[in-house]
Amino acid sequence: MFFRVKETAFHCVPDRPDPIFARQLQEVLGGQWGEISVMLGYLFQGWNCRAPGKYKDMIMDIGTEEIGHVEMLATCIARLLEKSPVETQEGAAKDGLVGAVLGGAKIQDVIMAGMNPHHAIVSGGGATASDSNGNHWSAKYIVSSGNLLADFRFNVAAESQGRLQVARLYNLTDDPGVKQMLSYLLARDTMHQNQWLAAIRELEEDGLEMTPCPSNFPQELENQEFNYAFLNHSEGNESSQGRWASGPSMDGKGDIKYVEQPPAMGQVQDLSQVDPRLFGTPKAALTDKERGLMFQDEQR
Amino acid sequence: MFFRVKETAFHCVPDRPDPIFARQLQEVLGGQWGEISVMLGYLFQGWNCRAPGKYKDMIMDIGTEEIGHVEMLATCIARLLEKSPVETQEGAAKDGLVGAVLGGAKIQDVIMAGMNPHHAIVSGGGATASDSNGNHWSAKYIVSSGNLLADFRFNVAAESQGRLQVARLYNLTDDPGVKQMLSYLLARDTMHQNQWLAAIRELEEDGLEMTPCPSNFPQELENQEFNYAFLNHSEGNESSQGRWASGPSMDGKGDIKYVEQPPAMGQVQDLSQVDPRLFGTPKAALTDKERGLMFQDEQR
Amino acid sequence: MFFRVKETAFHCVPDRPDPIFARQLQEVLGGQWGEISVMLGYLFQGWNCRAPGKYKDMIMDIGTEEIGHVEMLATCIARLLEKSPVETQEGAAKDGLVGAVLGGAKIQDVIMAGMNPHHAIVSGGGATASDSNGNHWSAKYIVSSGNLLADFRFNVAAESQGRLQVARLYNLTDDPGVKQMLSYLLARDTMHQNQWLAAIRELEEDGLEMTPCPSNFPQELENQEFNYAFLNHSEGNESSQGRWASGPSMDGKGDIKYVEQPPAMGQVQDLSQVDPRLFGTPKAALTDKERGLMFQDEQR
Amino acid sequence: MFFRVKETAFHCVPDRPDPIFARQLQEVLGGQWGEISVMLGYLFQGWNCRAPGKYKDMIMDIGTEEIGHVEMLATCIARLLEKSPVETQEGAAKDGLVGAVLGGAKIQDVIMAGMNPHHAIVSGGGATASDSNGNHWSAKYIVSSGNLLADFRFNVAAESQGRLQVARLYNLTDDPGVKQMLSYLLARDTMHQNQWLAAIRELEEDGLEMTPCPSNFPQELENQEFNYAFLNHSEGNESSQGRWASGPSMDGKGDIKYVEQPPAMGQVQDLSQVDPRLFGTPKAALTDKERGLMFQDEQR
Amino acid sequence: MFFRVKETAFHCVPDRPDPIFARQLQEVLGGQWGEISVMLGYLFQGWNCRAPGKYKDMIMDIGTEEIGHVEMLATCIARLLEKSPVETQEGAAKDGLVGAVLGGAKIQDVIMAGMNPHHAIVSGGGATASDSNGNHWSAKYIVSSGNLLADFRFNVAAESQGRLQVARLYNLTDDPGVKQMLSYLLARDTMHQNQWLAAIRELEEDGLEMTPCPSNFPQELENQEFNYAFLNHSEGNESSQGRWASGPSMDGKGDIKYVEQPPAMGQVQDLSQVDPRLFGTPKAALTDKERGLMFQDEQR
Amino acid sequence: MFFRVKETAFHCVPDRPDPIFARQLQEVLGGQWGEISVMLGYLFQGWNCRAPGKYKDMIMDIGTEEIGHVEMLATCIARLLEKSPVETQEGAAKDGLVGAVLGGAKIQDVIMAGMNPHHAIVSGGGATASDSNGNHWSAKYIVSSGNLLADFRFNVAAESQGRLQVARLYNLTDDPGVKQMLSYLLARDTMHQNQWLAAIRELEEDGLEMTPCPSNFPQELENQEFNYAFLNHSEGNESSQGRWASGPSMDGKGDIKYVEQPPAMGQVQDLSQVDPRLFGTPKAALTDKERGLMFQDEQR
């Protein structure tokens, strides 16, 4: 069960409206790697977690924190869209092209010049649950697999992609208030990368999971010829120069070999016939008799 | 540029048709973590890669290998759907409920009992680019960020989720031919987990990237109070027991502190007015005069 | 069965081309609350309607009317994109930024400046079944539940969101021909809001449905402690000041109470074990014996 | 900012596992009208709300409550999938076809018989953010328009559709623990229907909004001939029998008239030429000269 | 503008309920190649059509006809779901497995055994705008390009895929009433394949379009070395045996040549650097000085 | 199984960066008719093909070729985004509005002016698997039906829509390097249109398929009254003037008749009752007794 305090977790007060940046900032709210993704992703992982309490509590704590991050970004975007376009023009007028666009412009001109039309027509100056191109947020972006190592690895990736996008946005604005907020989000992503990396270490030290994941699957059942082989699939062999191509494997369980010309081990890719009642193109034209058999009930 | 040999990379020949398992196997072909995802994900990462040649070549080699995995799974599914349902019934008859369903059944009964209706109505006995619930594959599943550490971390996650799903499917079939193919895929996922972990190590050793990612962003610009703090967001403190809550951070750049009762640092979450011409609900009802101003041009 | 007359239901003739506004106008054609949504939503509600004939006939009449609205908007958009960009520039030249963009511009410059690229590359100057951000129309936007009160309430919302968006678009154009069409659509939305509100009243007077919907479900089976309680979920109690927090309920069947500090009534959110063959992270590491049991058939 | 207590808002403990019902219950977790939709829909409406504090606080309170409902449903589904299939069979054995399916069944048979394959292959016995057909949750399901009347009307619809689905699910299970939870959700939906209806009344009494919505748009600018007219679009006139076809309008601002044979008021639906460089099919074949002009730069 | 008569275009009355077949029949209502696709696809093509009147009128006539087909299928599905499950069991009891499932079954058992859960929980016994796997209809399925030859070719494909699916469904039911309806749809698809093929011929005879489409693009601007060459991309040359590999081209404008070993004509696929402020992985680690430059404004 | 050479199939080297055109070019990479669609569409058709070897080999050859086209477009887009915006400005400065936008602009100004924000924030200067509006590629765009005639007709449409879009893009750029690449793609689309048309001819000559497709379905089972009838659905009869309205049918199997006023052949569109436990709106209000029966078990 959840409760709310009325203050936001951190400052999210832009110095002035900027409808153009509002569109871009949507990416880290409602994009593939935005805060909705980590919020709902972590909450589902936490609710589905069956492992000892420290794991579930840690996952739920960060999931709950992320609700507050969604709140901060939604608030910041609504404020970037806040005042009337008339007022906006004045504040923005000294701002190069932004000013050029808004100076003397009518409301439709503002929209034309890179603003998200949904911010005007659909949400009326509010944030939306979508990305910087207007794609609606989708649960295709998240995972909760029941296996914590598989999920924590995904979470490390999410915090890396997320911090990368925030860093890019940091370079796309001059607004001190916005930068203050982004600076906080960068800090939290730094902590969260460390947090998930630590949690992976903890899983290993607790003997719960290790590489290859899932570690409960008996490795002797996997093909022993190809589980530590790098298969070159191109002319030339630059790919042989990295650590992935020779030496002991990262899991300590094998030695990597480099196969420069991997043979095709299977059969020619062809198929047999399907049921003629599916009307697929057959290997040879059906005889009239065969066609008749398919519908004999009908033709009586 | 790409070329093809006519044999598949490995065996993918089921011993007998099984339309029910064909539906389940779609998950690792066209699902979030299926082979289409790694194939297209890696190819885009490789094509977009600007780093030294060994990285691009390695990424492209594995991306090209994955085209062959898509081929193997599509072929296996088409074969699981291969013979006519009449023949299918005989092969499957001894198989518990599968047999119960198919024994003496008409074609619609087969479909009813758990088969993917698209396998009959849409693809006519062929594989589809969708998951075990019939969701069409979507590029929402992949990423190519330009930052190799961020992407390699995603790839480790993809190979972990993928191996997890293949392991589950291994337990969902008795077919020796299918198990032989899955055993190969498990082995490749083991190698690929190791491969991406090795590539992360290589990036660090080459001085290209490290934690926190992206490492080129000057860390002094991020908030210094919160970048190594665990913020408890619940009653109780089980989350303080893990490695993520104290001690040196995983990146070696800070010491983690546990904040049991994090305060809200921001302001009350409220907003100012927007342009009245957007017809949002205002803080107070507009006066007639104000409303008139909005449309004065019209009313002349 | 449906027939067509060749005239549109109302005028939809812009005075001049405007590719920028064409993009914006797509919202009320192919967006969440656009005319395709009400057209297909009402038609499905009508086709699925099992209630007395006056309801079905009314729903189908408005659904059929909406096909004509889709036609008007598609036609208007195709006309806004109509003439060649060369001619367009002249007509638009006096139009502030629009003119600035088009004056002396090449075709790619037009597209750059806020035009929907699909209008050039995909539809070649025609309307598309998508919104102002290019999201394809989706049946996720509609509902036909079999319960007319639930659906009519949705329809009131649809006509409100729709009229709101048309009103915003009315402020985003100066074109008299477009405004004439929008003025008609605003009028129809006014009627349709009234129409669905009247239909709700009719349902209640006919004794078919009332609040809480569905009214056929025996209310004594719902939890009697929480069906008229407002549960405060935050510090502070501003939410106690509205009509929703005290007094008789709107359905006349209860008295609302305000619960300032609602307790958690459930158990700690934790879970038991799942089948180990799913390879989820367990509460404790599996013993070798346990792992062996999972695959004993394989290892013989 | 948000905090969590570790108990769920109410009981969500099924008496026994039921993977079939787990699939169905997903509808009210991750479907169009499920708890994720009301949770994120209300939170975005609250965060975007610019109206007086009682409204924002009320919206945020219910939005925060709904996070707890998502938690209850996710927990309940994870518990319905909880024990191993072996144990499941025993508990379910007396249950008609469910028992028939599970008695002596292998794990793949369970899945075949109506279980969501994602519950085994993807989530490993956990809840997913998708509906009963496996469609991933999408932000296409929600709206936050900035106009509270438009949104509250949507919310009334959401609580009606939601209660309708919970009522149907109540009839699809015999499990006392599940029924206890559903009984609670039914009660809350009753309250929430009343709550939004009360909030609509409050908006009207505060003079903020009324019918037709948005009420700030000057109604004299809408077409005066069609704003209170019912347009029959079919042979026959059953639709004239309801309250929507005559008498004073629900907003008290007009009198409804029934137009039995509405004429087409527009022009024949046809279009002029587009830019030939878009290669659309023209009204007449281009002459060679015209074609040459299009590419004269190229041919020099 | 559109009008409606109250009778359906043709009979759509099943002899008895069949919730299993109702799910399958959804494919040709709301699937990729279902009637909604041709209805909306043709209507948009007609509305966007700028060619002479006979084309527009023909396209609109078939588009309007398809609204009636959507009506027939929605009606048929609602009737297949019509009576109560109790009654359903009796009608279906003699039907092999369908009977086995329904005989003595509770409502949840019916759903479990292959019924679409949305037909119970979401639509309450009505048709939905989705396919046989529950995927919502999407405008991604349709096209209106402005070029009639490109679109008519798509329409031939649509009528072919559609007739194929109806033919498969014809084999999936024994219900005489359903077969009567499918027999009508098969006939219309036969006509419509002929109709679009005739329209392609007409376009060519009117000199409006021909192969290669778009024919207005001056063919001398395309690469003259590769416009009539078949490029073999595999070991072996079975692909040389078809009409596509030699002889005059179908458009009569060239002679096809078979290139058994096509060389790569481009450069090695590599890239240069991007802006370091995007934090992509660079070709070499940035120097401290370079990093400093990126943020010099910040660090002052 | 697939292999790669490191050169691209053809030149794809723009003369200078152009982030605006990079966005537009995405359409033919990741749009409905882009290269990913033909690549994955043909590969699935080839893998699922059960017909004689020349067909499968031909389909797979073109599918493999298309992987190389995806590579070329991804590479070209990454190069269009290549250099830093600072450098970009210089190269582009002489380019009309593009120059106006970039001259003296900051990075956010570039993005504002029509660039795809994902190219900066998400992919960091790389191509994405999405279209010119940022819609992620979806498998909804492709088909593999098992029937080669149905699929080859779709492929002709795909090559026509694709060539049309490339032709439009050819007019949207002045870059000689880009035009060289597009000239190659236009040529390949010309060949591929011819190739699929030839393959259709081959199918007919091999006796495998013909019109109406699927030809294996016995045409005597389709309705004989409507399989060669054009049904006018509008006032007026312009549609009678084309080849589709009279004369022998294109398949040579019938004579087309024009039906100017087609009657409705079905019944009034109405429905019977559903199970009251679904809580749909009934034909008449349920009696208390009826309601009681529904829940009698509960009320004991």
Preferred mutation among B137, B281, B288, B296 to probe D, highest tally of D CBs within 10 A? B281
Alpha-carbon gap, residue D123 to F205, rounded angstroms = 51
Contact B285 D217 (CB under 8 A): no
Chain B with chain F: Cβ pairs closer than 8 A:
140
Q: What is the mean pLDDT of residues A93-99?
A: 36
Which chain C residues are Cβ-neighbours of E126 within 8 angstroms? 44, 47-48, 144-146
Judged against a pLDDT cut of 70, whether residue B116 lies above it is answered with yes
> Quick one: pLDDT at residue A284?
73
Q: Give per-residue pLDDT as tens, B126-166.
A: 999 999 999 999 999 999 999 999 999 999 999 999 999 99
Q: Assess F7–B contact: CB distance below 8 Å, yes or no.
A: yes
F296 touches C: beta carbon within 8 Å: no
More confident residue, E289 or C76: C76
Alpha-carbon distances of C171 from A122, B79, B279, C94, rounded to whole Å: 14, 60, 10, 19
Nearest by CB to residue B3, choosing from F2, F78, F142, is F2
Shortest CB distance from A4 goes to which of C33, C131, C234?
C234
Lowest mean pLDDT among D101-105, E24-28, F43-47: D101-105
Q: Which DSSP string corresponds to F91-131?
A: HHTTSTHHHHHHTT--HHHHHHTT--HHHHHTSSSS--SB-
- Residues paired with residue F167 on neighbouring β-strands, in sequence order: none
The one-letter amino acid code at A66 reads E
Return all residues near F53 (Cβ < 8 A) that are at least 6 apart: A270, E238
Q: Chain A: residue nearest C23 by CA?
A: A117
Rounded distance between C-alpha atoms, residue E112 and residue E108, angstroms: 6
F21-57 pLDDT, tens digit per residue, is 999 999 999 999 999 999 999 999 999 999 889 999 9
Chain-chain contact of E82 with F242 (C-beta, under 8 angstroms): no
> How many alpha carbons lie under 13 Å from residue F269 in its C-beta half-sphere?
35
CA-wise closest residue to C38 among C48, C28, C47: C28
Quickly name the fold that domain E19-205 has. Ferritin (1.20.1260)
Strands annotated E in chain D: 2-4, 229-231, 247-248, 255-259
Nearest CA among B126, B197, B170, B190 for reference residue B28: B170
Tell me the mean pLDDT in the region E218-237. Answer: 96
Chain B residue numbers with beta carbons less than 8 Å from the beta carbon of A282 are none
Contacts of F214 in chain A (CB under 8 A): 279
D259-263 mean pLDDT = 96
Q: In terms of DSSP bridges, do strands A2-4 and D2-4 run parallel, antiparallel, or are they unpaired?
A: antiparallel
Q: Which one, of E14, E29, E35, lies nearest residue E133 by Cα?
A: E29
* Total beta-carbon pairs less than 8 A apart between chain B and chain E: 138
Greatest mean pLDDT among A89-98, A102-111, A269-278, D209-218: D209-218
* Distances in whole angstroms, Cα of residue C67 to Cα of each of C63, C138, E59, F278: 7, 17, 16, 30
AA identity, residue D173: T
Please give the structure tokens belonging to residue B56.
């691009």
Q: Are B141 and B35 in contact (CB under 8 A)?
A: no
Give the span between the Cα atoms of A160 and F183, in whole angstroms: 40
Determine whether the interchain pair A127/D9 forms a contact, defined as Cβ–Cβ distance below 8 Å.
no
Is F106 a residue whose pLDDT tops 50? no
Angle at F217 between CA F216 and CA F222, to 5 degrees: 150
Confidence label for D297 from pLDDT (cuts 50, 70 and 90):
low
- Candidates E115, E120, E96, E111; CA nearest to E23 is E115
3-state secondary structure (DSSP) of residue F274:
coil
How many angstroms separate the CA of residue D56 from the nearest CA in chain F?
32
Choose from B28, B56, B118, B243 for mutation: most chain A CBs within 10 A: B243
E247-273 per-position pLDDT tens digit: 999 999 999 999 999 999 999 999 988
Inform me whether the pLDDT recorded for F85 exceeds 80: no
Mean pLDDT, rounded, of chain C? 88
Three-class SS string for chain B? CEEECCECCCCCCCCCCCHHHHHHHHHHHHCCCCHHHHHHHHHHHHHHCCCCHHHHHHHHHHHHHHHHHHHHHHHHHHHHCCCCHHHHHHHHCCCCHHHHHHCCCCHHHHHHCCCCHHHHHCCCCCCCCECCCCCECEHHHCCCCCCHHHHHHHHHHHHHHHHHHHHHHHCCCCCHHHHHHHHHHHHHHHHHHHHHHHHHHHHHHCCCCCCCCCCCCCHHHCCCCCCCEEECCECCCHHHHCHHHCEECCCCCCEEEEECCCCCCCCECCCCCCCHHHCCCCCCCCCHHHHHHHCHHHHC
The Cα of E290 is separated from the nearest Cα of chain D by a number of Å equal to 39
Torsion over CA: E117, E123, E128, E129 (sign): negative
Q: D touches which chains (3+ CB pairs under 8 A)?
A: A, B, C, E, F
The shortest C-alpha distance from F35 to chain D (Å) reads 20
Is the predicted pLDDT of residue F111 greater than 60, yes or no? no
Task: Tell me if B208 sits within 8 A of E282, measured CB to CB.
Answer: yes
Which residues does chain B have within 8 Å of residue D49's beta carbon, measured at their own beta carbons?
271, 281
What chains are in contact with E, requiring at least 3 Cβ pairs below 8 Å? Answer: A, B, C, D, F
pLDDT digits (tens, 9 = 90+) for C22-36: 999 999 999 999 999
Q: For A230-239, B72-81, D12-21, which range has the lowest pLDDT when averaged over its residues?
A: D12-21
Q: Is F5 on the interface with A (CB under 8 A)?
A: yes
Which residue of chain D has the CA closest to F176? D298
In contact, E225 and E264? CB cutoff 8 Å: no
**Contact indicator for C170, C189 with CB cutoff of 8 Å:** no
- Residue ranges of the domains in chain F? 19-205, 219-259
pLDDT digits (tens, 9 = 90+) for A145-159: 999 999 999 999 999
Rounded to two decimals, the pTM is 0.94
Higher pLDDT: C7 or C88? It is C7
**Dihedral sign from CA coordinates of E119, E120, E122, E125:** positive
Q: Which of C70, C77, C80, C73 is nearest to C4 (CA)?
A: C70
Give the distance from residue B6's alpha carbon to the nearest chain D alpha carbon, in angstroms.
Answer: 31
Confidence label for C86 from pLDDT (cuts 50, 70 and 90): very low
Instruction: Tell me if chain F has a CB within 8 Å of the CB of E272.
Output: yes
Neighbours of C (≥3 Cβ pairs closer than 8 A)?
A: A, B, D, E, F
Helix (H) or strand (E) holding C187: helix C176-205
Decide if F280 touches E, using CB distance below 8 A. Answer: yes
Q: pLDDT band for position F92 (50/70/90)?
A: very low
Q: What is the pLDDT of residue A133?
A: 96
In this predicted structure, the answer to whether residue C198 has a pLDDT above a threshold of 80 is: yes
ipTM: 0.92
What string of DSSP letters covers D190-202? Answer: HHHHHHHHHHHHH
The distance of C154 to chain B (nearest Cα, Å) reads: 20
Cβ-nearest to A278 among E168, E277, E278: E168
Per the CB < 8 Å rule, is E274 touching B50? Answer: yes
Cβ-based neighbours of E147, under 8 Å, separated by 6 or more: C124, D279, D280, D281, E209, E213, E214, F160, F164
Query: In this predicted model, which residue has the larger pLDDT, C44 or B282?
Result: C44
Question: E150 pLDDT exceeds 70?
Answer: yes
Average pLDDT, chain A: 88
* CA of E105 vs chain A CAs: smallest distance (Å): 31
Task: Average the pLDDT over A261-288 and give the result.
Answer: 86
Measured between alpha carbons, how far is A110 from A83 in angstroms, rounded to an integer?
13
Beta-strand relationship, D2-4 and C247-248: unpaired
What Rg value do the Cα atoms of chain C yield, rounded? Answer: 28
For residue D144, give both structure tokens.
Answer: 């936050």
Contact D4/B96, CB-based, under 8 Å?
no
Whether C48 and E123 lie within 8 Å, measured CB to CB: yes
Which of F148, F162, F146, F5 lies closest to F71, judged by CA?
Answer: F5
Percent of chain F with pLDDT over 90: 76
Which pLDDT score is estimated for A184?
98
Calpha distance E16→E81 (Å, rounded): 9
What's the confidence (pLDDT) of residue F113?
Answer: 59
Work out the minimum CA distance from A133 to partner chain F, whole angstroms: 6
Nearest to C161 among D143, D231, D269 (CB): D143
Q: Running DSSP on this structure, what letter comes out for residue F282?
A: P
Shortest CA distance from A163: residue in chain E: E279
E101 touches D: beta carbon within 8 Å: yes
Q: Is A235 on the interface with F (CB under 8 A)?
A: yes
Which of A7, A81, A112, A200 has the most C C-beta neighbours within 10 Å, making it the best mutation to test the interface with C?
Answer: A112
Buried b (16+ CB within 10 A) or exposed e, F268-277: ebbbeebbbb
The CA radius of gyration of chain F, in Å to the nearest whole number, is: 28
Assess D168–E contact: CB distance below 8 Å, yes or no: yes
Residues 23-82 of E with CB under 8 A from D: 47-53, 55-56
- In this complex, do E117 and D24 lie within 8 Å of one another by their Cβ atoms? yes
> Which pLDDT band holds residue B85 (cuts at 50, 70, 90)?
very low
Partners of residue D243 in chain C, C-beta under 8 Å: 198-199, 201-202, 205
Q: Which of D113, D171, D273 sits opposite E107 (nearest CB)?
A: D171
Cβ-defined contact of E124 to F201 (cutoff 8 Å): no
The answer to whether C64 contacts D234, with C-beta atoms less than 8 Å apart, is yes
